[in-house]
Structure 1
Amino acid sequence: MRAHPHTTSRSRRKTGRRHPLATLALIAIGLGLTGGGYAAFNSSTASAETATASKQSVDEGKKLFMANCATCHGLNASGTDNGPSLIGVGAAAVDFQVGTGRMPMAMQGPQAEEKPVQFTDDQVKSLAAYVATLGPGPAIPDASLLKPDGDAAKGGELFRVNCAMCHNVAGAGGALTEGKFAPDLHNVTPAHIYEAMVTGPQNMPVFNNLNITPTDKRDIITYLTYIRENPSPGGFELGGLGPVSEGLFLWIFGLGSIVALTVWITAKSN
């Protein structure tokens, strides 16, 4: 007995139909592979950072941590009510926070402010090496990424798109909400600029290598170095605060001078 042709075609279509959960399975596999690759990359970075630090340096960093940081961050650096966990922040975060004097904090406030550094360079590196052993995180950038020999024009464009809304187009800093502020970048070292981008301190977002590549970060460093070393060709730069300060200057002094001149001419004619 021959099967009806319409029945055969329906059976084939039904057999070739994808299962409703197949799409979800593919998405789950893709997310798993992406997350696994990212974790493996971070782990290899942290392992390389730890491998370059001697056991003596790590032990010294642990002693410094226990004496100066554990009160707020906990004996295991897992965090307390007074300070966040440091597991996974990486060596770059420690080098930035401690290397700029922001940590240890002198007092609780809207944000940690820069102050004189309380440790030597070797002690800062030891602290960073110890924290790097606690979990994978951004490493201290290589010196080749910090040379201000990139494309300053491209760096300026990237800075205006990603950073100028807080730090001002000239890197002069600016006020934020609730007593917070974006700091002036004119005297910040290239290493600390790079570390700030990859760790996102205070209110700053994290710009990882997928957001801004290492080459682009070097271009931004090149731009900031350029505007620091080259004064304004127009003369008085009004603090480098951009169009707001320039507009205010013109409104008060420029328009004010015109009004004063008008009043003087009128008075003379009378």
Structure 2
Amino acid sequence: MFSKKNSTKSKRAVGRRSPVATVSLILVGLLTTGGAYALFTSTATADTSSTTSQASVNEGKKLFAANCATCHGMAASGTTAGPSLIGVGAAAVDFQVGTGRMPLAADGPQALEKPTQFSNSQVQAMAAYVSSLGTGPSEPASKYLTATGNAAKGAELFRINCAMCHNVAGAGGALTEGKFAPPLKGVSAKHIYEAMLTGPQNMPVFNDLNITPQDKADIITYLKYLEKNPSPGGFELGNLGPVSEGLFIWIFGLGAVVAITVWLTAKSN
């Protein structure tokens, strides 16, 4: 009897599962479940993002066909009325369409800024479509558009690279053949950055090798500083500098002296 009891206990001891094994199985189960859930979630997110992006491209393609293809062609490869847009990137589309310069209202020396006829989401959709056709400059990161850079350095860079057309105060100026450099007061930081990046109209391209993203941010900081701090010298005379001030003196100053002299002479007679 004693021998059978011991034998039964021994069998039960051998068949009993160790507590460590139980914990290990639970951990393996949790890790497997968590990993599968994470994989499924990331896949679902990627699929959703891809679907959203493709939907934006499709919407942009429809808008492009309805509003831009007449000049740029159905495949955006260009026609005799407009250049190819393959490879211009999202930044060029956002600038041209976002400022109302495109679609072009009428032929002329250069496209004029006007109220845009598209919503921001529609502009982004067209930018996504054109960007999908070929690699080009993308829209700038928001950290470069805060106007919190080095205004002094931005002023130096602006004088060297931009002032010969836009004036040292960003007031704009005339160019040849009816073209002009527009004033930069009131222009959004994003559009200023995109203009430097893509070189619209007669403007040269300042890519990131010419002017780094941080340098562009400093230029934007300088221009926004000018907007917030008007000239302390009184009437600005169009910000055209000493030439306009000299002409003002010659025309109005000397003209006033001559007028007073004639008046005094006439009075004495």
TM-score scaled by length of structure 2 = 0.77
Partner of 1:136: 135
Larger radius of gyration: 2
TM-score scaled by length of structure 1 = 0.77
- The whole-number CA distance in structure 2 between the counterparts of 1:258 and 1:53 is 72
Pairwise CA distance, 1:266: 6.9
Pairwise CA distance, 1:159: 0.8
Give the residue type in structure 1 aligned to 2:105.
A
User: 1:192-207 alignment to 2 at 5 Å?
Assistant: 192-207=191-206
Partner of 1:95: 94
Q: 1:193 to 1:51 in 2, by over 3 A?
A: farther
Partner of 1:33: none
Give the residue type in structure 1 aligned to 2:202.
N
What are structure 1's unaligned runs of at least 5 residues?
Answer: 1-49
The secondary structure found in structure 1 opposite 2:134 is: coil
RMSD: 2.0
- The whole-number CA distance in structure 1 between the counterparts of 2:80 and 2:237 is 43
Pairwise CA distance, 1:65: 0.6
What per-residue deviation string (whole Å, max 9, x for no partner) do you get for residues 166-185 of structure 1? 11111111111111111111
Partner of 1:125: 124
- The whole-number CA distance in structure 2 between the counterparts of 1:190 and 1:100 is 12
Give the residue type in structure 2 aligned to 1:63.
K
Q: How many residues align?
A: 221
The secondary structure found in structure 2 opposite 1:54 is: helix
Partner of 1:23: none
List 4+ stretches of structure 1 deviating above 3 A. 50-53, 257-270
Give the residue type in structure 1 aligned to 2:178.
G
- The whole-number CA distance in structure 1 between the counterparts of 2:242 and 2:159 is 14
Q: Percent identity among equivalent residues?
A: 74
- Asked if structure 2 preserves the Cα contact closer than 8 Å seen for 1:53 and 1:129, the reply is no
Q: 1:102 to 1:54 in 2, by over 3 A?
A: same
Partner of 1:77: 76
Pairwise CA distance, 1:264: 6.1
- The whole-number CA distance in structure 1 between the counterparts of 2:134 and 2:50 is 13
Give the residue type in structure 1 aligned to 2:140.
P
Pairwise CA distance, 1:69: 0.6
Q: 1:199 to 1:53 in 2, by over 3 A?
A: farther
What are structure 2's unaligned runs of at least 5 residues?
Answer: 1-48
Pairwise CA distance, 1:255: 2.8
- The whole-number CA distance in structure 2 between the counterparts of 1:238 and 1:143 is 35
Pairwise CA distance, 1:253: 2.0
The secondary structure found in structure 2 opposite 1:212 is: coil
- Asked if structure 2 preserves the Cα contact closer than 8 Å seen for 1:101 and 1:116, the reply is yes
